[in-house]
Chains A and B, each alone.
Chain A
Amino acid sequence: MSTSVTTASQKVPIRKYELGRPIIRREQRIAFEEIHRDLAKTWSDSMAEYLPADARLEFEGLDFEVFSAVSIDDSPYSQIALFSIAATPINGFLMMSGALAKFLVRHRLGMTAATDADATAPFTRIEGAIGRETSRSIIARLSEAYAAARLGSIANIRECDDLADSFIFEPDESLALLKFRIGIADLDLRLLVALSGSVVASLAAHQPVAVAEANGRNAIINVVRRLPLDLEVVLGSWKASIAELQGLHAGDQIVLPDGEDAWLAARGVRVRRAGVEIGAAGASVEIRGGSRLR
């Protein structure tokens, strides 16, 4: 067939196929990011009681990387928790940077000003417990968000000291990395949620609420709503021959319709009936009811 001949003659660049690399559709990505953007707000609101007003967790974005390339915070203060999503092959972990863990613990204890000694002192037992409890409450809200988005429920949560020794992922396994940060200068206040790359397939299988509600049609309507429209206020119209129009000269006067039966038009289409009152400073157009639009 001619089709196969044409195909064979086309020079298609050969690209390396990376086995296991996730493929994600744009709308899935948007929905996935939206879930985590909302989650950042929920986390921030839940910590608003003890955090400074300007310290809000912000969602930085979604990235993909193999496990061996993930930057692991080896600070003694960092909080790492492993989890899985029940009834799916998806595993994940949450990693709170040491600086963030310290920041949250200090603020929960009302210790806003850290001394030099505090900077290097290990967590006390109480501080360590508060750090773990903070990590657990963050995961609890993550679990609620995933359940609401029909991604599944988080299970098998366990704390971990050294992620490299957790054996949860193969070194070359692709992960979806969801990065969060509290934007305070000079402080590395990062939070990372990493999930098996197969979470993408899960998104396809469990169409999340965000996708269902923000389908393409709604997105288009939202864009159209904001489009600017040139609207004309038309006092009236009449028929005139070209000869009459040619006879018009500067200074000629025309009696116009009084504006009682005016209308608004967009690109020649009448969209609303109106009455127009003309004053010294401008005009006032009152929208009229009725559907008599020609």
Chain B
Amino acid sequence: MSPDGFIRTTSVTVDAVLARVRMPVESVAALAPGDRLDIEAQGGAGLLVRLVAEGQTIAVASLEIVDGQLIATILNNDPNNGPGVAGRRIDQWKHRKAKTTA
């Protein structure tokens, strides 16, 4: 197999990353079942999902729900063209603790 052929058939794990938030370690440690994080896209823009392969963003897609399915539409898949792929976006978050009942 040629080197190109080897590369093309190599499989990688792709993660669909909905948001990236920055939190103090103690807030992460305090997250408990039932707690909610409300995530708002930076600058009020619509939600985007990043396709991340082995730590590298390979594409950015918009999100919509169609017939109950979550559909991602690729907006940009050129790492050298546009901040959507290369930039490290940080979204806003709000932590809501789970309500406890006596």
Contact = CB atoms under 8 A, between A and B. Distances in A.
A52 B37 CA distance: 45
Contact of B16 (A229, A257, A286, A287): A257
B22 A282 contact: no
A240 B22 CA distance: 28
A243 interface: yes
A272 B63 CA distance: 23
A257 to B, nearest CB: 7
A247 to B, nearest CB: 10
B52 to A, nearest CB: 8
Interface stretch (A112-120, A209-217, A248-256): A248-256
Q: Is the interface of B mostly helix, strand, loop or mixed?
A: strand
Nearest to A280: B46
B39 A284 contact: yes
Kindly state the interface size class of chain A when it binds its partner. 35 or more
Contact of A283 (B29, B47, B75, B76): B47
Interface stretch (A70-78, A137-145, A219-227): A219-227
A254 B71 contact: yes
B87 interface: no
A172 to B, nearest CB: 50
Interface residues of B, number: 56
B73 A238 contact: no
B40 A255 contact: no
Contacts, number: 172
Contact of A245 (B18, B55, B58): B58
A291 B15 CA distance: 20
Contacts of A229: 22-25, 28
Interface of B: 7-26, 28-29, 31-41, 47, 49, 51, 53, 55, 58-59, 61, 63, 65, 68-77, 88, 90, 98
Interface of A: 224-243, 245-246, 248-259, 262, 264-266, 268, 271-272, 276, 278, 281-289
25 contacts: A228-B23, A230-B20, A232-B17, A232-B19, A232-B20, A233-B18, A233-B37, A233-B39, A235-B18, A239-B11, A240-B14, A241-B10, A248-B58, A250-B74, A253-B72, A256-B71, A256-B72, A258-B68, A272-B31, A278-B47, A283-B38, A284-B36, A284-B37, A286-B34, A286-B36
